[in-house]
Amino acid sequence: MALDSKVPQGPLKDKWTDYKNHINLVNPANKRHIDVIVVGTGLAGGSASATLAELGYNVKAFAYQDSPRRAHSIAAQGGINAAKNYQGDGDSTYRLFYDTVKGGDYRSREANVYRLAEVSANIIDQCVAQGVPFARDYGGLLDNRSFGGVLVSRTFYAKGQTGQQLLLGAYSAMNRQIARGKIEMFNRHEMLDVVIVDGKARGIIARNLVTGEIERHSAHAVVIASGGYGNVYFLSTNAMGSNVTAGWKVHKKGAYFANPCYTQIHPTCIPRSGDYQSKLTLMSESLRNDGRIWVPKHLKDVEAIKAGTLKPTQLKEEDRDYYLERRYPAFGNLVPRDVASRAAKERCDAGYGVNATGEAVYLDFAASFVRYGKEQAKIQGITNPSEAKIKELGQEIVRAKYGNLFQMYEKIVDENPYETPMMIYPAVHYTMGGVWVDYNLMTTIPGCYAIGEANFSDHGANRLGASALMQGLADGYFVLPYTIGDYLADDIRTGKIPTDTPEFEAAEKEVKERIDFFINNKGTHSVDYYHKKLGKIMWEECGMSRNAAGLKQAIEDISALRKDFWQNVIVPGTDTEYNEQLAKAGRVADFLELGELFAKDALVREESAGGHFREEHQTEDGEAKRMKEFQFVSAWEYKGEPKDAVLHKEALEYENIEVKERSYK
Amino acid sequence: MNLTLKIWRQKDANSKGQMTDYQISDVSDHMSFLEMMDVLNEQIINKGEEPVAFDHDCREGICGMCSMYINGEAHGPDRGVTTCQLHMRMFKDGDTITIEPWKAAAFPVIKDLVVDRSAFDRIQHAGGYISVNTSGNTQDANSIPIAKQAADTAMDAATCIGCGACVATCKNSSAMLFVGAKVSQYALLPQGQVEAADRVRNMVAQMDLEGFGNCTNTGACEVECPKGISLDNIARMNRELMKASI
């Protein structure tokens, strides 16, 4: 099958408007006879479910959590970008588009990104109308902060809990439709397969996680909004239940999987502490607005700090290496995430890591306490304030901005970040790769859509901070509701899709056989045993830097591990009850396939781009080196074993932006 | 450290449950409480038995999924944290720790420590929203200035994670802190005014229908709330309800 991105003709700035003017619409009376399944209730799935129901479609929404409000979008901290230009600092739709394409290292689709930037402002209007309590200044207008990789302040926020507030906004919109019966909500349900009828996605097989019952659900279209696959690394900032299963199942039924190797390793996370660790915790990128990142300049000081004979606060200014400010004077501590993460790894690999494992750098707020403190003293008319008073006043401001993050850090690490610098290290956070979609957000299976983090289209090889929330809500509120209508216009006479057909029968049988296998296998190793082993391979060979030998080894190791898993995994309990191990076994089985495709994709991509850093391809000063011949999307077609996957290429063309060396110096 | 755990085990909603003792050794100070539970479950699985079921997801204190009643306190002995943020440094070698599910008639047990909190969702369905369709044509976000203090107070109320600790800890199993927080968020913002009366009436009616008790101003909910939701929100809800009924 040839890949057709279906990007409309015409000038970039008119594409979306012209597209909307010419698509087919479904009249309100007909929408009542059309069903749509949405898998996942995060920002993308929640906003899509609510909007489709408002339009009149019958929505069936699925979440593995006990309530749609708990989807992992809830954990997003820092903010959401929008080209409002409220600060008058030169922002515009074009600039947001430009920053996003450049930030993604010129590996995203121009038309999709421009549309994203175009609808970004509507998102803020919509959320405010819903009652989302964004931060405001004293004049009562919305406040903004700045994020990495940009030179304007376009990030809207609600303390360090922006994802929570936006998700609760989408959840409230869903609740209104659930109350009206337009959304039927299936909590504690997991999609285990997609059902294809006459070449079109017409339903899913889902498991009720409380009773174990296998259910058939039909619809005229299926939307995958199940998030990213960062948990393939075992340790990540994702929720424990985050998984690739929905995306992987549609991949196995014909949807191409794009750029699996593009993973975001976020620079500011709390370092790991021991083997029992179950997940990693992110410290919002917004902290880099006010925190400065450094390690000691001299190895002797590193040793003294590790030995506990020297405190970081005692180290003189000239003995500190603010390595981001040194290497990237233009963007300083606010370089994009891929750049900041690699720079931390470079310093730690050279022996400058400041904790016992050697995998930590400092994020220091001392300078901002002084800066804010002096400003406050002036505002409050305090003459000749003491150093202590300045610090106190400054800390108040920092507390107001990031209080919940500081508290979170203190609870986990047991150190007071107001008194000593935070220690941070990069961790897996987000996956730019995902199910391939065209301009309509439709996968290569007709009638099957993928939105939010589950698809691949907008962030290229690296996502900028505060853009995930923007994309999730753009897809769900403002893009999919149009594009899906164009497709469903052909279904007004189809009628209800029956579930007592051979297609549903076959899909259900396959699902049940796999569950039976897990329950009856009675092996020797737990599901987590395999998940941890997979995570170790992924982190070591497919982490912040990759090379051909390591990737080949990873492919071999993952394949062997998968074989072992299918022989020796043990799942306790039965299939007719609440059984978390059983649910997890299915998810890890899919990660074991995805992991291998991931390594294969990274091996084929003989260049460095964004989060994908191949050691063989770097500039003299260690920056990522892109290759013109790799200016394409890798879309993989499933053919059985991951090693047999077939590569399809979607060429990326940049007509409105000059492809340049990506520099933040 | 070495610990004795007394954990509530219950096969399903229809079975009778009981406390079961477990021993666990070599627990590190730096472990989170749920990581300690992971280690325990790994032990149980390797013995060929069924692990302890408990709800958890984000493990960073924001999704509201985790819900353990530890030594007689919702989310355990620390303040301002959820169970997943509770660390083992709060305990000492030789301790016996009692772990139970949320206990409230409106939160029936599904299995072991997992309870059904769908009553909270149904209260939100009754009015926890502002009726605005997605259109792209709503007015500009800055067209109505909102006083910083009102926005900040609304945000403090909106911080509720819906975990149910307030209900679990209340001697009346009251959900008033939860409902008050949502009512307050909208009551403090201009967008919420149009539907204010119907909202508070409908949400409170649903709350009563679900079998939650009433507030008798003990204040335990505020103490145990991992997000520090203030009792003021209950007062505000009562005022709103009063306003709505005259």
Q: pLDDT by residue (tens digit) across B128-176?
A: 999 999 998 899 999 999 999 999 999 999 999 999 999 999 999 999 9
Vertex A299 angle, CA A294 and A302, to 5°: 60
Q: How far apart are alpha carbons B9 and B5 in whole angstroms?
A: 12
Cβ contact A75–B117 (<8 Å): no
The alpha-carbon gap from B116 to the nearest alpha carbon of chain A, in Å, equals: 8
Instruction: Tell me what the mean pLDDT of segment B98-120 comes to.
Output: 98
The secondary structure of residue A430, as a DSSP letter, is: E
| Alpha-helix residue ranges (DSSP H) falling in A131-195 | 162-179
Buried b (16+ CB within 10 A) or exposed e, B7-42: bbbbebeeeeeeeeebebeebbebbbbbbbbbbbbe
How far, rounded to the nearest angstrom, does the alpha carbon of residue A618 sit from its chain's CA centroid? 26
Residue A653: CB atoms within 10 A of its CB come to 14
- Residue B221: pLDDT band (50, 70, 90) is very high
Q: What domains are defined for chain A? A: 267-428 (3.90.700.10), 505-651 (1.20.58.100)
Q: How far apart are CA A72 and CA A118, in angstroms?
A: 26
Share of chain A above pLDDT 90, in %: 94
Residues 6+ apart with CB under 8 A from A640: none
Phi, psi angles (nearest 5°) of residue A117:
-65, -40
Nearest to B28 among A136, A241, A276 (CB): A276
For residues A625, A628, A630, A633, the Cα torsion angle rounded to the nearest 10 degrees is 110
What's the order of all strands across the beta sheet hosting A292-296?
A263-269, A422-431, A361-364, A292-296, A320-321
Cβ(A451)–Cβ(A45) below 8 Å: yes
pLDDT for B225 equals 98
Reported as a single tens digit per residue, the pLDDT across A522-571 is 999 999 999 999 999 999 999 999 999 999 999 999 999 999 999 999 99
Query: Chain B, 118-157: which have a CB under 8 Å from a chain A CB?
Result: 118, 120-121, 124-126, 128-136, 138-142, 145-148, 151-152, 154-155
Residues of A in contact with B120 (CB under 8 A): 67
Q: In the beta sheet, which residues pair with residue A185?
A: A61
DSSP label at residue B139? P
User: Distance, in angstroms, between A522 CA and closest chain B CA?
Assistant: 9
- CA–CA separation, A404 and A419 (whole Å): 16
| Residue carrying structure tokens 């430009």 | A98
Q: How far apart are CA A452 and CA A462, in angstroms?
A: 15
**Cut 0.90: pTM above it:** yes
**C-alpha dist (Å) from residue A292 to A264, A287, A320, A423, A509:** 21, 9, 11, 11, 56
Helix (H, G, I), strand (E, B) or coil at A287: helix
Residue A78 has pLDDT above 90, yes or no: no
Please answer yes or no on whether A133 and B154 come within 8 Å at the CB atom. yes
Task: Decide if B35 and A278 are in contact by the 8 Å CB cutoff.
Answer: yes
Tens digits of residue pLDDT in A11-27: 999 999 999 999 999 99
CB contact under 8 Å between A69 and B64, yes or no, is yes
Q: What is the rounded CA–CA span in Å between residue A324 and residue A376?
A: 28
Q: How far is B35 from chain A (nearest CA, A)?
A: 6
Region B22-37 average pLDDT: 96
Q: What share of chain B is helix, strand, coil (3-state, %, to 5)?
A: 35, 15, 50
Distance CA B233, CA A71 (A): 26
Indicate yes or no: CB of A127 within 8 angstroms of CB of B141.
yes
Report CA torsion sign: A333, A338, A339, A343: positive
User: Residues A41-53: what's their mean pLDDT?
Assistant: 98
- Give the model confidence (pLDDT) of A422-449 as tens digits: 999 999 999 999 999 999 999 999 999 9
Sheet of strand A200-208: strand arrangement: A189-197, A200-208, A214-218
Q: Phi first, then psi: what are they for B109, rounded to 5°?
A: -75, 135
pLDDT at res. A149? 85
User: pLDDT tens, A216-254?
Assistant: 999 999 999 999 999 999 999 999 999 999 999 999 999
DSSP element (H, E) containing A195: strand A189-197
In chain B, the residue whose alpha carbon lies closest to the alpha carbon of A209 is B110
DSSP for A77-144, written as a single string: -S-EE----TT-SS--HHHHHHHHHHHTTS-S-HHHHHHHHHHHHHHHHHHHHHT----B-TTSSBP-
- Does the pLDDT at position A1 exceed 70? no
Average pLDDT of chain B to the nearest whole number: 97
- Cα(A281)–Cα(A278) distance, integer angstroms: 10
- Residues in chain B closer than 8 A to A141 (CB atoms): 142, 145
pLDDT of residue A294: 98
Q: What is the pLDDT of residue A618?
A: 94
Pairing outcome for strands B73-74 and B18-24: unpaired
Helix/strand/coil for A558:
helix
Residue pair B212/B119 in contact (Cβ under 8 Å)? The answer is: yes
In whole angstroms, what is the distance from residue A274 CA to residue A587 CA? Answer: 24
Using the beta-carbon criterion (under 8 Å), do B28 and A159 form an inter-chain contact? no
Predicted confidence at residue B121, as pLDDT, reads 98
Please report the domains of chain B, with CATH numbers, ordered by start residue. 3-110 (3.10.20.30), 117-245 (1.10.1060.10)
Under the banding of pLDDT at 50, 70 and 90, the label for residue B106 is very high
- Sort strands A257-258 and A221-224 into parallel, antiparallel or unpaired: unpaired
pLDDT digits (tens, 9 = 90+) for A316-353: 999 999 999 999 999 999 999 999 999 999 999 999 99
> If you measure CA to CA, which chain B residue comes closest to A414?
B30
Distance to chain A for B61, nearest Cα, Å: 8
* Structure token pair of residue A432: 């730019």
**Residue A2 vs residue A538, higher pLDDT:** A538
**In this predicted model, what pLDDT tens digit does every residue of A193-218 receive, in sequence order?**
999 999 999 999 999 999 999 999 99
Phi, psi of B32 (to 5 degrees): -80, 165
Q: Give B185-209 pLDDT, tens digit per residue.
A: 999 999 999 999 999 999 999 999 9
CA–CA gap between residue A442 and residue A450 (Å, rounded): 6
**Token pair listed for B61:** 């204190």
Q: Is the pLDDT of residue A388 over 80?
A: yes
Check CB contact of B198 with chain A, cutoff 8 Å.
no
Q: Determine the pLDDT at residue A662.
A: 84
Residue A148 has pLDDT above 90, yes or no: no
Across the range A575-592, mean pLDDT stands at 97
Q: b/e string for A538-555 if b means 16 or more Cβ within 10 A?
A: bbebbbbbbbeebbeebb
pLDDT above 70: residue B223: yes
Q: Is it the case that residue B5 has pLDDT exceeding 70?
A: yes
The string of pLDDT tens digits covering residues A449-500 is: 999 999 998 999 999 999 999 999 999 999 999 999 999 999 999 999 999 9
Question: Residue A259: which residues within 8 A CB-CB, separation 6 or more?
Answer: A107, A432, A433, A434, A456, A461, A601, A633, A634
Whether B162 sits inside 8 A of A47 (CB atoms) is: no
Q: How confident is the model at residue A275 (pLDDT cuts 50, 70, 90)?
A: confident
Nearest CA in chain B to A137: B148
| Cβ density class B169-200: b for 16+ within 10 Å, e for less | bbeebbbbbbbbbbbbbbbbbebbeeebeebb
pLDDT at B56: 98
Shortest alpha-carbon distance between residue A210 and chain B (Å)? 7
Cα–Cα distance measured from residue A352 to residue A222, given in angstroms and rounded to the nearest whole number: 50
Q: Identify residue B92 by its one-letter amino acid code.
A: K
Q: Indicate whether A314 pLDDT > 70.
A: yes
Most A CBs within 10 Å, among B31, B63, B149, B183, to test the A interface: B63
- Which chain B residues have a beta carbon less than 8 Å from that of A118? none
Min distance A385 CA to chain B CA atoms (Å)? 27
Whole-number Å distance between alpha carbons of B119 and B108: 10
Confidence check: pLDDT of A113 > 90: yes
- Between CA A456 and CA A104 the distance in angstroms is 11
Span A311-319, average pLDDT: 96
